[in-house]
Amino acid sequence: MSLVGIIANPASGKDVRRLVSHAIAVGNQQKVNVVRRILLALHACGIERVEIMPDVYGIGERALHALHAQPDVRAMVSILDMVVENTAEDSMRAAAYLRQAGAGCIISLGGDGTARLVARACGQVPLLPISTGTNNVVPVFVEGTVAGLAAAYVAQQPEAERHQLCHRHKRLLVDVNGQETDIALVDVALIATQFVGARAVWEPGLVRQVFVTRAQPTQIGLSAVIGVLEPVAPDQPWGASVLLDGRGRQVLAPIAPGAMARLGVERITRLEPGQACPVLSERPAVLALDGEREIELTAAHQAQIRLDLDGPWIVDVEHTLAQAVAARAFEVH
């Protein structure tokens, strides 16, 4: 039975960066509308079962309510039976459940932070991340109907063939005191501050070091500090790191929507797969993962970053739909 999971983060796009930049706000009602269009496309393509993560806003329930006149669509959808804590753990628990339930594809709605959380728990299940967050390097700007078409085609392929419709995203493994603690898909930054606080990184003067899997001038976020100088493409088998010092060469980078920062770059170093790169010893500090402060470091903590090429499988929407066309998947007999 073909199964597609949907994880819509109601908190995405609501952090402090909205107050200090000019990011487009994607409200929860808009997420409801996107989910509704996804469901219509999944049903039209013959998906038999869809499971949606519950949340405090009720994105899945509201999408279903809007489809009250289409009982055939509603019949294939259920809301996951799980406790909602309104924390990051919700997305990871939902992804883990969907993986164990045999989902052929997981669609997420959020930014890089949401994609990171889902990637931590989805295993080998292809992930199609739709951009509704503040920083959106991994998630794509794709219309919900189109996303539904691509997810349906991926989910209906034999498990061994699904990854041919995806690309494997690199990731950064974060080790603290010799133990793997977390991951990031785009960047890890050392922030000279004592507490996690509001989580989002919006004070560029506190950034001391950045590690990236990819970096391009077309990206928004801390990875752009490297991207505007020495770009790293998503498909190149290496990453990069940079030390930031006010006395270094000055660079102008788009670290948030509408927010340009001048930063002093000391040096940029290539990051090879499996190479353990030490985090600076400045303490107290916080490690920010994909733009969100997550790990507090004290003098008792030593941290290092490793590049891993075997991260999550990300659905290539254009390639997937091109393959679907070639297979005449949209012809009605």
The answer to whether residue 215 scores a pLDDT higher than 80 is: yes
Mean pLDDT of the chain: 93
The answer to whether residue 4 scores a pLDDT higher than 80 is: yes
Tens digit of pLDDT for each residue in 62-76? Answer: 999 999 999 999 999
pLDDT of res. 18 = 45
Gap between the Cα atoms of 109 and 128, Å rounded: 9
Mean pLDDT in residue range 300-312? 98
Task: Report the DSSP pairing between strands 207-212 and 187-191.
Answer: antiparallel
Tens digit of pLDDT for each residue in 251-284? Answer: 999 988 888 999 999 889 999 999 999 999 999 9
Strands (E), the chain: 3-8, 49-52, 77-79, 105-110, 127-131, 166-168, 171-176, 179-184, 187-191, 207-212, 239-256, 259-271, 276-278, 285-289, 292-297, 303-308, 313-315
Gap between the Cα atoms of 242 and 169, Å rounded: 21
pLDDT of res. 12 = 81
CA dihedral defined by 3, 9, 10, 14, rounded to 10 degrees? Answer: -160
With a CB cutoff of 8 Å and minimum separation 6, the contacts of 208 are 190, 191, 192, 243, 244, 280, 282, 285
pLDDT of res. 16 = 44
The answer to whether residue 34 scores a pLDDT higher than 60 is: yes
What dotted CATH number matches 171-308? Answer: 2.60.200
Tens digit of pLDDT for each residue in 281-295? Answer: 999 999 999 988 899
Q: What percentage of the chain carries pLDDT values higher than 90?
A: 83
Q: What percentage of the chain carries pLDDT values higher than 70?
A: 94
Report residue 27 CA to chain centroid gap: 18
Whether the Cβ atoms of residue 148 and residue 37 lie closer than 8 Å to each other: yes
Gap between the Cα atoms of 314 and 309, Å rounded: 13
Per CATH, the architecture of 3-169+312-326 is what?
A: 3-Layer(aba) Sandwich (3.40)
CB atoms within 10 A of CB 201: 27
The answer to whether residue 20 scores a pLDDT higher than 50 is: no
pLDDT of res. 52 = 98
177 exposure class (CB count in 10 Å sphere: 0-12, 13-18, 19+): exposed
pLDDT of res. 142 = 96
> Cis (ω within 30 of 0) for the bond into 129?
no
Gap between the Cα atoms of 288 and 98, Å rounded: 27
The answer to whether residue 197 scores a pLDDT higher than 60 is: no
Whether the Cβ atoms of residue 220 and residue 135 lie closer than 8 Å to each other: yes
Question: From the CA atom positions of the chain, what is the Rg in Å?
Answer: 20
Of residues 13 and 325, more confidence is placed in 325
The answer to whether residue 202 scores a pLDDT higher than 80 is: no
Mean pLDDT in residue range 175-180? 97
pLDDT of res. 17 = 45
Q: Do domains 3-169+312-326 and 171-308 have the same CATH topology?
A: no
Whether the Cβ atoms of residue 63 and residue 35 lie closer than 8 Å to each other: yes
Count of positions (residues) in the chain? 333
Tens digit of pLDDT for each residue in 129-146? Answer: 999 987 789 999 999 999
| Confidence category of residue 195, pLDDT binned at 50, 70, 90 | low
What are the domain boundaries of the chain? 3-169+312-326, 171-308
Residue listed under structure tokens 């006010």: 246
Tens digit of pLDDT for each residue in 70-111? Answer: 999 999 999 999 999 999 899 999 999 999 999 999 999 999
The answer to whether residue 127 scores a pLDDT higher than 80 is: yes
